[in-house]
Amino acid sequence: MRFLFKTDYEDDIKLFPHSGYVVSYGTLLAFLLIAPFVLSSYLVSQLVFVCIYATVGVGLMILTGFTGQASLGHAAFLAIGAYTAAYLQQFNVPFPVYFLAGGLLTGVVGALVGFPALRLTGIYLVIATISFGFIVEEVLARWESVTHGNEGMRVKTLSLFGQAVPQNGPAFYYLCLAVLILTIVGALNLLRSPTGRAFVAIRDSETAARSMGVNVSLYKVKSFAISAAITGLAGVLFAHKLSFISPEMFTLQLSIEFIIVILIGGAFSLHGAVLGAIFLVMIDPFLTYLKDDLPGIIAGIAATFGADSIAAGKIHDNVAAIASANGLKGAIYGVIIVLFVLFEPLGLYGRWLKIKLFFQLFPLYKRATFKRQKIYVKSERNR
Amino acid sequence: MLDFVQQLVSGIALGCVYGLIALGFVLIYKATEVVNFAQGDLMMLGGFFAFTFIGMLGLNYWLGFAGAVIAMALFGMLAERVVVRPILGYPQFSIIMATIGLGYFLRSVVGMIWGTDDFKIETPFSDGVLRIGSLVLAYDKLSVIAATIILCALLYLFFNRTTLGTAMRASSENMLAAYYMGIPVKRVVSIVWAIAAAVATAAGVLLAPITFIHSNVGLVLGLKAFPAAVLGGFGSIPGAVVGGVLIGVIESMAGFYLPQGWKDVAPYIVLLVVLLLKPEGLFGVHMRKKV
């Protein structure tokens, strides 16, 4: 195993602690850059969604993972970004301007949400953010002079410096990738600055943070604003990717999906946001695959174990019926959430860390290293 | 004036349904400090069980009602055992996510089994109306109100007068201490889930004649029950019902007197105002923070 020898604080906060990081992230970046040339256009389109969801995931991770403030209203922030883009686009505002305006406006709204949220913790905060989401959804549906109500808004093709960037082309993919990478680097820098340290201190114990001189209210509002602004930027890209937006896209369902992103990816790390986004977006192609190929595979297995052709055909039809049933996606979501909460609370990134540690410490790895403590008193109230 | 009273009664009837769902939240919250986001979906599932017993198997209404309540009580215990018990004691957020997952699962499985149509349950009091002067009150709405009052009174007595109720309150305060005092905490939690699921079923069956039963009804109404529970204070049984009634009345008044669109938003605006001004709710107890 590798031992890092740190001599000063600069070593401790380096973005790339050792050369291994440069190699692995360089390889990943190289793969992502050539992806549009080797992958099918469908998969590239999914990758764009991965980038957008991961950007939102990073925003949500700053708020929920690092500041400890749960939010089930992030679809509303995404909606504000998307609608700002669609609205400003009508007046021929150039992309860089409305891109930043979308982020800025959403950030301001996020700060406004952050103020009432100061007094709320735990479940109350979750409920308040859900209500915020509903109210925004309803405002979008009713404020017809700006949002065109339930008819929705068409978003024109993005044009950057006079060049059209169609939402299915590789250029749009590179744009989303660049936004994601810049967001991640920005978030990493934020997290190693005093602000980021204050966020983590608030998450771990508000009282302790306050007694160490952290202005809890200020940093909570900051965290809300930053998280919302990042989500707003993603919203602009989201609007362009879909090229049509309407209020019913930004429901509680979407907010829950964002929470699933950071839950599955693993709270407390930016890697988690990206892994979770990959997982969530790639469920769709996987389900399509399941619908097409799974019945044949299962019937084949049954046939090898001695089922005759009629029985195998029946199995094929039954499996096909289940795999193509409506609402299967919801059931799979549900099962996945429950399984992750029960068995993999640290998410995919946590699993990766466990595997890494297992090999580093082999044969001395202890399961208890990652065990969480159970608290049976009113823990959340006393924190 | 007549319109006002008419709106008031239908608001109260709707509010009672919110109150019954909120009652489920409060029961589980009181006993385990867990917020069950799948409470509305338990109600929906209960409604479908009752529909199966009454509408499809042709049982007597009361027999089917009782059957659904018992089946759902068992289901509540099962859900507690499988999903909730392993994560008791972990941060609230994990449990919220687990129950959200459970809700997703129930909605989509119900959609697969029963389909996504609207269903209606025939009740003995579906059609009749009570006339007082020129005021017309439908029996199905009155039945919801009556049942809510009875259930609320029973549960209030249960929690405050019986040993089991006291045990539940004790385990909510501090599970570990309750366990040391000889309270079978696991069984208590399991019984609480059974009661909550049974109450949810009662709500679902009573609701069926008013708004039909479909696989998303739990999500829609469950989310409206949150403002009710918060308004009443998250740990108070009478508070849940009072909060539910208030939300129901506010919603139906907003639908009648305010422009279109306010009806759906009004409960949430009330919720945000309550959270800002009095986060512990009308009947809640203010918790002091200990360091």
User: Two tokens at B160?
Assistant: 């405050």
Q: How far is A129 from chain B (nearest CA, A)?
A: 9
How far the first Cα of chain A sits from its last, in Å, is 37
Q: Phi and psi for A8 in degrees, rounded to 5?
A: -150, 180
Contact A265, A271 (CB under 8 A): yes
Whether B271 and A127 lie within 8 Å, measured CB to CB: yes
- B108 part of contact set with chain A, CB < 8 Å: yes
Of A59-63, B38-42, B251-255, minimum mean pLDDT range = B251-255
Confidence (pLDDT) at A105:
95
Task: Write the pLDDT tens digit of every residue in A251-295.
Answer: 888 998 898 888 888 867 888 899 999 998 888 778 777 777 777
Q: Give B 227-266 residues with CB within 8 A of chain A.
A: 227, 230, 234, 260-261, 264-265
Of residues B224 and A81, more confidence is placed in A81
d(CA A79, CA A227): 14
User: Which chain A residues are Cβ-neighbours of B223 within 8 angstroms?
Assistant: 130, 134, 252
User: Two tokens at B260?
Assistant: 């279109």
User: Does the predicted TM-score (pTM) go above 0.80?
Assistant: yes
- Give the HSE-up count for residue A325: Cα atoms under 13 Å, Cβ half-sphere: 21
Whether A131 and B91 lie within 8 Å, measured CB to CB: no
On the question of pLDDT at B272 being above 50, the answer is: yes
d(CA A4, CA A17): 8
Q: Which residues pair with A164 in a beta bridge?
A: A159
Q: Give the nearest partner residue to A256 out of B100, B105, B276, using CB atoms.
A: B100
Confidence (pLDDT) at A382:
44
Confidence (pLDDT) at A326:
65
- Interface-testing mutation among A129, A341, A383, with chain B (most B C-beta atoms within 10 A): A341
Whether B102 and A335 lie within 8 Å, measured CB to CB: no
On the question of pLDDT at A380 being above 60, the answer is: no
- The CATH class for the domain spanning A19-279 reads mainly alpha
Q: Would you call A322 exposed, middle or buried from its count of C-beta atoms within 10 A (0-12, 13-18, 19+)?
A: middle
Task: Write the pLDDT tens digit of every residue in B149-187.
Answer: 888 888 888 888 899 888 888 887 778 888 899 999 889
Q: Give the nearest partner residue to B269 out of A135, A325, A328, using CB atoms.
A: A135
CA dihedral A56, A178, A95, A150 (to 10 degrees): -30
Of residues A21 and B288, more confidence is placed in A21
Task: Write the pLDDT tens digit of every residue in A197-227.
Answer: 999 999 888 888 999 999 999 999 999 999 9
Residue A155's pLDDT band (cuts 50, 70, 90): confident
Whether B98 and A341 lie within 8 Å, measured CB to CB: yes
Q: Find where tokens 């109500």 sit.
A: A149
Whether A207 and B93 lie within 8 Å, measured CB to CB: no
Of residues B263 and A326, more confidence is placed in B263
Task: Write the pLDDT tens digit of every residue in A7-38.
Answer: 888 888 888 888 888 888 899 999 888 888 88
On the question of pLDDT at A229 being above 80, the answer is: yes
Whether B230 and A127 lie within 8 Å, measured CB to CB: yes
Name the average pLDDT for chain A: 85
User: Which chain B residues are Cβ-neighbours of A325 within 8 angstroms?
Assistant: 112
Whether A335 and B105 lie within 8 Å, measured CB to CB: yes
User: Which chain A residues are Cβ-neighbours of B100 within 8 angstroms?
Assistant: 256, 259, 337
- Ranges of each domain in chain A: 19-279, 285-382
On the question of pLDDT at B244 being above 70, the answer is: yes
Whether A135 and B275 lie within 8 Å, measured CB to CB: no
User: Which chain A residues are Cβ-neighbours of B109 within 8 angstroms?
Assistant: 327, 331
DSSP letter string over A280-303?
HHHHHHHHHHHHHHHHHHHHHHHH
Q: Phi and psi for B45 in degrees, rounded to 5?
A: -65, -40
Residue A325's pLDDT band (cuts 50, 70, 90): low
Confidence (pLDDT) at B240:
86
Start-end of H helices in A212-346: 216-242, 252-265, 270-304, 309-323, 328-343
Of residues B134 and B28, more confidence is placed in B28
Mean pLDDT within A127-132: 88
Residue A381's pLDDT band (cuts 50, 70, 90): very low
Characterise A283 by phi-psi region: left (phi > 0), alpha (psi -120 to 50), beta (else): alpha
Give the helix/strand (H/E) hosting B135: strand B135-138
Confidence (pLDDT) at A230:
95
Name the average pLDDT for chain B: 84
Q: Residue A340's closest CA among B93, B106, B79?
A: B93
Of A49-58, A161-170, A357-366, B98-107, minimum mean pLDDT range = A161-170
Confidence (pLDDT) at A383:
42
Q: Give the nearest partner residue to A123 out of B35, B111, B227, using CB atoms.
A: B35
Confidence (pLDDT) at A323:
67
Whether A334 and B101 lie within 8 Å, measured CB to CB: yes
DSSP-based three-state secondary structure for A127: helix
Choose the most confident range, by mean pLDDT, from A222-226, A290-294, B31-35, B274-278.
A222-226
User: Which chain A residues are Cβ-neighbours of B35 within 8 angstroms?
Assistant: 123
| Percent of the residues in chain B that have a pLDDT greater than 70, as a whole number | 96
Q: Residue B21's closest CA among B205, B158, B251, B257?
A: B205
| Percent of the residues in chain A that have a pLDDT greater than 90, as a whole number | 26
User: Which chain A residues are Cβ-neighbours of B93 within 8 angstroms?
Assistant: 70, 122
Q: What is the SS3 assignment for A333-345?
A: HHHHHHHHHHHCC
A363: preceding bond cis by omega (within 30 degrees): yes
Nearest CA in chain A to B222: A127
Contact B34, A381 (CB under 8 A): no
Whether A252 and B268 lie within 8 Å, measured CB to CB: no
Confidence (pLDDT) at B285:
64
User: Which chain B residues are Cβ-neighbours of A123 within 8 angstroms?
Assistant: 35, 92, 96, 234
Q: What is the SS3 assignment for B138-202?
A: EHHHHHHHHHHHHHHHHHHHHHHHCHHHHHHHHHHHEHHHHHHCCCCHHHHHHHHHHHHHHHHHH
